Amino acid sequence: MANRTLTFSVFRFNPYDPDFGPRMQEYIVEETPRMTLFTALTLIREEMDPSLQFDFVCRSAVCGSCAMLVNGHPRLACRTRTDELPAKIVLHPLPFFRLIGDLSVDTGSWFAEMAHRVESWVHTTETFDPDAEEARMSNDQALSVYELERCIECGCCVAACATAQMRDDFLGATGLLRIARFWIDPRDQRTDADFYDVVGTDAGVFGCVGLLACHDYCPKNLPLMEQLAYLRRRVMFASLRSAVGKKERQPEEQEATR
């Protein structure tokens, strides 16, 4: 296929400069084989406009810093090839997060605050012993925890979620995933009631109305749909058990929270 001439229409705005108001700016780029949005943006910055702001670190879908809206959809710039797109490519920064400038947003502050809110660490009363053997867990448990640890904190799931656009305190699919990750960790000694306190709110699992755009746009294909359903079941059973004062999990509950 002959290489195309691409037209990039890029959102430009410097919120710290009153003379640099929001606008779209066009750049023309000759497509090269296997070109990604990252390489195209780098070419624009190096050869046409050094003032263009966008983020990247790893160029391999690991750091999560290059997410942006590509023709209206959240994607990683480093993993999106231009030959998957039409010749007119419209780029905006991710919504929801604080804008730094142009295509660059501050996801880090939001993720740090979210991690604090969901207490994103193993809660245990055991004293740390640097000489002790590692805590053991079964292979199945380790694989389940590892699967939920793959989030690269890119923010695509939050940017895609209409609930998050309407309420800025929503934990988002990534925050809920974080809770699910610790809930299944056998080393975490928090009770169901403790987890319920963190996530059983409108800003947590009850704010999620099952739109599932998070699942569709997660670039790491994390099992968000399954985990959100899992959390709903666990939260429901935690609240039922607290209502009837049960101490032990019932057989049907064990089945539902698996």
Binding residue for ligand F3S, selected from 44, 114, 154, 161, defined by CB under 6 A: 161
Q: What is the smallest separation between the CB atom of 39 and ligand SF4, expressed in angstroms?
A: 22
Closest of 125, 107, 30 to residue 68, by C-alpha: 107
Residues 173-192 that bind ligand SF4 (CB under 6 A): 173-174, 177
Q: Does 218 bind ligand SF4 (CB under 6 A)?
A: yes
Per-residue binding string, ligand SF4, 102-141, x by CB under 6 A, is: ----------------------------------------
- Count CB atoms within 10 A of the CB of residue 252: 9
Task: Please classify residue 223 by burial: count the beta carbons closer than 10 Å to its beta carbon, then call 0-12 exposed, 13-18 middle and 19+ buried.
Answer: middle
Closest contact distance (angstroms) between CB of 92 and ligand SF4 is: 17
DSSP label at 225? H
Contact between 213 and ligand F3S per CB under 6 A: yes
222 is an interface residue for ligand SF4 by CB under 6 A: yes
Helical ranges in 90-160 per DSSP H: 107-117, 139-148, 156-160
Q: How far is the CB of 137 from ligand FES (least distance, A)?
A: 29
Does position 73 interact with ligand FES (CB under 6 A)? The reply is no
Closest CA relative to residue 160, chosen from 97, 81, 89? 97
Q: What span, in angstroms and rounded, lies between the C-alpha atoms of 75 and 151?
A: 14
Binding residues (CB under 6 A) for ligand F3S: these are 160-161, 163, 173, 208-214, 228
